Structure 1
Amino acid sequence: MPHLRLLTSIAIFGAFVVFVELAYGWSRVLAPWAELSWGLVIVAALLAGLTYVLRTLRLYDYYRPVMRGRFGACLRLTLTHNLLNNLLPMRTGELSFPLLMARYFQVPPLNSVPVLLWFRLMDLHTLGFFALLALGSHALGVGPALALSLMWLATLPLIRRMAPFLIARIEPWEDRRLASLMLRALQALPESPRAFWRAWGWTMGNWAVKLAVFVWVLALFLEAPAPALWLAVIAGDLTSVLPVHGVGGAGTYEAGVMAALLPFGVSAQDALAAAINLHLFLLGSTLVAGALVPWLPATRGET
């Protein structure tokens, strides 16, 4: 089965590359890069790099007793995990997180996997907030959209308050996969309210910066309403949870971006070209950040 999934990923990647060449031509799709100011691209890449730091701070803060004084190793772990997650098919890069936590910080998978699930739950919840804000502002206006989004935002601290009740109700079903995942995520909730709010703050800060940067980059390649750009960036990111996608997310990432743009009247050709170039920026920033990994310490005292 794993080999079949890998072959499927490679097939999707190959079919996507051939389709773009036959339908539009890669030279036409990539032509806008020649007209961009590289100063803007560098600034966007630096801001994208800031999101890696924010993600690292979330992890470092959660595991402060274990990671104290080893921020460089924590950043190395985050960049490695991000690199593998964005390049390997079928989210297999997620498997690197518990392995790296055990290798660098001697944190066993039984501890790190539930924390990763909790982080992913916070990520999805935050993406839901921004999606509601973007969609609601387009359909209802800014005021109602903000009210609806804040109501959604309030559900996460509510989940924390109800965690003991939810755990007790889910435990009888823990032999089922979804229930088991939810149970482990709830059990990884920070013990103190302050730790919970800090983790949530790092999550909100990371996604606010990341989405804003990617919306800005997408706007360099495409003229579209702001809600369309925000929803497109969010949809592209959410494709990473699909059970099947191409190597490096090729094809499925673009499909997610296009699915959000087409209802706003953007032509399929313009949407595809913009989605490809946004994806190239994502992969490029991932590779540049990944190139820093060998220069970061892996163990205490390493330079």
Structure 2
Amino acid sequence: MPKLRTLLAVVILVAFVVFVEAWFGWRALLSPWREVTPSAILAAALLTLFTYWLRAVRVYDYYRDAMRGRFLVCLRLTLVHNLLNNLLPMRTGELSFPLLMARHFQVPATHSVPVLLWFRLMDLHTLGLFAWLAVGGFVLGWWVALPVAAAWLALLPVARRLAPWLRDALGDPQGGRLRAFAWRAFDALPDSPRAFWRAWGWTFANWLVKLAVFVWVLGLFLEVPSAAAWLAVIAGDLTSVLPVHGVAGAGTYEAGVVAALLPFGVAADAALVAAVNLHLFLLGSAVFGGLLAFALPGGRHGPKED
């Protein structure tokens, strides 16, 4: 099955490249970049790098005891993890996180994998919040969207309070691999309300900046209502959780963006051009961040920075 899924990812990538060349021509599709000023590209790239810093802070804050004084190593880990996550098919890049955590900080996978799962659940919760605000505010008005968003946020403390009860309801953690992993996943939750909300705060800040930057970049190639732009950017990001998608998300990312734009009356051709160029910006930022990681310390037992 893994080989089949990898083959499908390669097939999707090749088919997408061929389709774009036959339908538009890559030269014509990339031509809008000529109208984008270097200052705009630089500003967007720097803000995207800032979101990588926010992600690293979330990890560093959570593992403050294990990482104390080695933030640059944590930042390097985050940049490499992000690069592999964006380039490798089927979310296989996620495997780099437990491997790098074990290599640089001696954190076993039995702890880092549940923590990564917890981070991803926070990411999905935050994306759901922004998606609802974009759609609800546009369709129903803010007087309906904001109370529902507040109720959605209230699920976080409720879920945290229920976590110990749900964990105990699972029974003996020695009762099988799935049950043992579920126990570790519950134990990965922050152990205090303050740590819990700090983790969510870093998550919220990261996604707010990232989505705003990507909405801005999308607007460089396409004029659409702000709700459509926000929903399109979110939809493109959510395609990464699909069971099958192209190498580096090629084809599937664009499909998510286009699918979100079409209900707003955007022409399919214009939507696809904007989606491809937005995706290229995303990949370019990830590659630049990955190259930047080589300039950062990464030794297993390197000296502390403070």
Alignment TM-score, normalising by the size of structure 1: 0.95
Alignment of structure 1 residues 111-130 onto 2, 5 Å = 111-130=111-130
Are the counterparts in 2 of residues 86 and 93 from structure 1 also a CA contact under 8 Å?
yes
SS across alignment from 1:292 = helix
Give, in angstroms, the shift of residue 298 of structure 1: 1.1
Q: Which amino acid aligns with 2:109?
A: P
Are the counterparts in 1 of residues 30 and 277 from structure 2 also a CA contact under 8 Å?
yes
List, as ranges, runs of 4+ consecutive aligned residues in structure 1 with deviation greater than 6 Å: none
Are the counterparts in 2 of residues 81 and 97 from structure 1 also a CA contact under 8 Å?
yes
Give, in angstroms, the shift of residue 197 of structure 1: 1.0
Are the counterparts in 2 of residues 171 and 183 from structure 1 also a CA contact under 8 Å?
no
Give, in angstroms, the shift of residue 175 of structure 1: 5.7
Are the counterparts in 1 of residues 111 and 184 from structure 2 also a CA contact under 8 Å?
no
Query: What is the distance in 2 between the residues matched to 1:218 and 1:172?
Result: 50
**Are 1:280 and 2:280 counterparts?**
yes
Query: What is the distance in 1 between the residues matched to 2:96 and 2:288?
Result: 19
Query: What is the distance in 2 between the residues matched to 1:23 and 1:166?
Result: 52
**Selected match of 1:301 from 289, 300, 303:** 303
Seen in structure 2, the aligned counterparts of structure 1 residues 78 and 233 have a Cα distance that, compared at 3 Å, is same
SS across alignment from 2:294 = helix
Q: Percent of counterpart pairs with the same letter?
A: 65
Output the aligned Cα RMSD. Answer: 1.8
Seen in structure 2, the aligned counterparts of structure 1 residues 150 and 183 have a Cα distance that, compared at 3 Å, is farther
Are the counterparts in 1 of residues 110 and 184 from structure 2 also a CA contact under 8 Å?
no
Query: What is the distance in 1 between the residues matched to 2:132 and 2:104?
Result: 38
Are the counterparts in 2 of residues 90 and 244 from structure 1 also a CA contact under 8 Å?
yes
Give the length in aligned residue pairs.
302
**Are 1:162 and 2:162 counterparts?**
yes
User: 1:265-290 CA distances to partner (integer Å, 9 max, x unpaired)?
Assistant: 00100110000000000000001111
SS across alignment from 2:56 = helix
Give, in angstroms, the shift of residue 171 of structure 1: 5.0
Query: What is the distance in 2 between the residues matched to 1:212 and 1:183?
Result: 36
Seen in structure 2, the aligned counterparts of structure 1 residues 250 and 171 have a Cα distance that, compared at 3 Å, is farther
Alignment TM-score, normalising by the size of structure 2: 0.95
Seen in structure 2, the aligned counterparts of structure 1 residues 172 and 279 have a Cα distance that, compared at 3 Å, is farther
SS across alignment from 2:272 = helix
Are the counterparts in 2 of residues 98 and 108 from structure 1 also a CA contact under 8 Å?
yes
Are the counterparts in 1 of residues 69 and 304 from structure 2 also a CA contact under 8 Å?
no
Seen in structure 2, the aligned counterparts of structure 1 residues 274 and 176 have a Cα distance that, compared at 3 Å, is farther
Ranges in structure 1 where 5+ consecutive residues have no aligned partner: none
SS across alignment from 1:101 = helix
Which residue of 2 is the match for residue 233 of structure 1?
A: 233
**Are 1:10 and 2:10 counterparts?**
yes
Query: What is the distance in 1 between the residues matched to 2:28 and 2:180?
Result: 48
Are the counterparts in 1 of residues 70 and 304 from structure 2 also a CA contact under 8 Å?
no
Ranges in structure 2 where 5+ consecutive residues have no aligned partner: none
Are the counterparts in 2 of residues 121 and 185 from structure 1 also a CA contact under 8 Å?
no
SS across alignment from 1:154 = helix
Are the counterparts in 2 of residues 118 and 185 from structure 1 also a CA contact under 8 Å?
yes
Are the counterparts in 2 of residues 55 and 203 from structure 1 also a CA contact under 8 Å?
yes
SS across alignment from 1:221 = coil
Q: Which amino acid aligns with 1:257?
A: V
